[in-house]
């Protein structure tokens, strides 16, 4: 089993989503000790889409400049990590009611027509099928699934759009109000992963 472990929180060791993703990966590797884990910390930065990115990846230039080639290489690397993974473990800290910009930028890098999805007469079809995703949702005051939550539904939609429809959330929400209760709810969800 190949696991892609993605963190995006900017709060380092204080991050609840990082703790949860580490716990999920630990449970998965305890069940399958031969699992291979690739960890990517998106808070280190992910290049955003711009005109150069578009020209390099979407327009399909035949003679990319060195800067364009670097963008092609990064996008290909990020996409290959997902293609090679059987399981994705994604940290989803909530900032201002939505996902971090670096996680959105990662999604932009891997959502590539003809590679990770395609358009058909029946509509879009995701090409990254046969994978599971575990999402560690951590929020100080944004209840998961509430009208204030503009992150979990979007991430579930984008993963499904790419063909990843087996998605499980481990939520620690309401941390600012009752941290112990939020962590207890997350622990209950974690315990189901081990079952």
What is the domain-level CATH number for residue 162?
A: 3.40.50.360
**How much is the pLDDT for 65?**
83
Residue 138 and residue 169 in contact, taking contact as beta carbons nearer than 8 Å = no
Predicted confidence (pLDDT) per residue in 114-160, tens digit: 999 999 999 999 999 999 999 999 999 999 999 999 999 999 999 99
With 90 as the cut, is the pLDDT of residue 54 above it?
no
Please give the model's pTM, rounded to 2 decimal places.
Answer: 0.94
Mean pLDDT of 25-40: 96
> How many domains does the chain fold into?
1
Binding region for FMN: 15-17
Residues 61 and 69: their CA atoms lie apart, in Å, by 10
CA atoms within 13 A on the CB side of 52: 12
Binding region: 15-17
Q: Which structural domain, as residue segments, surrounds residue 153?
A: 2-194
Mean pLDDT of 171-182: 94
**How much is the pLDDT for 183?**
94
Q: What is the DSSP letter of 28?
A: H
């Amino acid at each position: 089993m190949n696991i892609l472990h993605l963190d995006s929180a900017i709060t380092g060791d204080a991050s609840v989503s990082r703790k949860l993703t580490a716990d999920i990966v630990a449970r998965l590797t305890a069940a399958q000790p031969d699992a291979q884990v690739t960890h990517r910390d998106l808070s280190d930065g992910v290049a955003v889409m711009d005109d150069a990115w578009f020209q390099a990846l979407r327009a399909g230039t035949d003679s990319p400049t060195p800067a364009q080639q670097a963008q092609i290489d990064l996008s290909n690397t990020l996409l290959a990590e997902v293609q090679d993974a059987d399981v994705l473990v994604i940290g989803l800290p909530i900032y201002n009611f939505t996902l971090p910009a670096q996680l959105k930028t990662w999604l932009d890098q891997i959502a590539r027509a003809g590679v990770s999805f395609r358009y058909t007469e029946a509509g879009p079809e995701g090409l990254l099928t046969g994978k599971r995703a575990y999402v560690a949702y951590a929020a100080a005051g944004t209840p998961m699934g509430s009208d204030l939550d503009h992150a979990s539904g979007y991430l579930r939609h984008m993963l499904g759009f790419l063909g990843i429809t087996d998605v499980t959330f481990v939520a620690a929400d309401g941390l600012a109000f009752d941290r112990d209760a939020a962590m207890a709810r997350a622990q209950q969800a974690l315990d189901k992963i081990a079952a």
